[in-house]
Structure 1
Amino acid sequence: MDYGTLRGIFTVLIFVLFIIIVLWAYNKKRKTSFDEAANSIFDVNDKNNDLVNKNEGDK
């Protein structure tokens, strides 16, 4: 096996891995978990605001 063949095999492996990742990312079953992850930053911010408002009311 020469160097060109190894590079070709490596290129095909990387391409197959890319296709698998794309299919995983755009799978409809994953949409809800991705939506939850995308909106989680807003949930944390709301919880922090509730804690700040609660602490200000104690003063």
Structure 2
Amino acid sequence: MDINDFRGLATIFTMVAFFGIVIWAYSGKRKKKFDEAANLPFEDEALHKKTQARTGDDKQ
């Protein structure tokens, strides 16, 4: 086994890992969690507005 065999195996392993991650990311089972994660910045904004209303601080 020489270095070229190792490079070929490394390429195949990398391709399999890449396609595995793509399938995992686009699977329907993950959609709900990804949608929740996408809305996290907006939840922080709502918390900020609630805190401002409670303290009476209207400055930005």
- After TM superposition, the score normalised by the length of structure 2 is 0.90
Aligned length: 57
Q: Which runs of 5+ in 2 are unaligned?
A: none
**CA distance in structure 2 between the aligned counterparts of 1:52 and 1:42, rounded to whole angstroms:** 15
CA shift, 1:18, in A, is: 0.2
Residue 28 of structure 1 corresponds to 28
Q: Cα RMSD (Å) of the superposition?
A: 1.1
* Shift of residue 39, structure 1, vs aligned partner: 0.5
Tell me by how many angstroms 1:48 deviates: 1.1
Q: Secondary structure at the match of 2:39?
A: helix
- Which residue in the other structure is 2:39 paired with? 39
Q: Which amino acid aligns with 1:56?
A: G
For residue 29 of structure 1, report the CA deviation from its aligned partner: 0.5
Instruction: Provide TM-score, normalisation by structure 1.
Output: 0.92
1:10 aligns with 2:19: no
**Quick check: which one's helix share is greater?**
1
Tell me, in whole angstroms, the C-alpha distance in 2 between the residues paired with 1:43 and 1:17: 33
Q: Which runs of 5+ in 1 are unaligned?
A: none
Query: Structure 1 vs Structure 2: percent identity of aligned residues?
Result: 39
Aligned to 1:52: 52
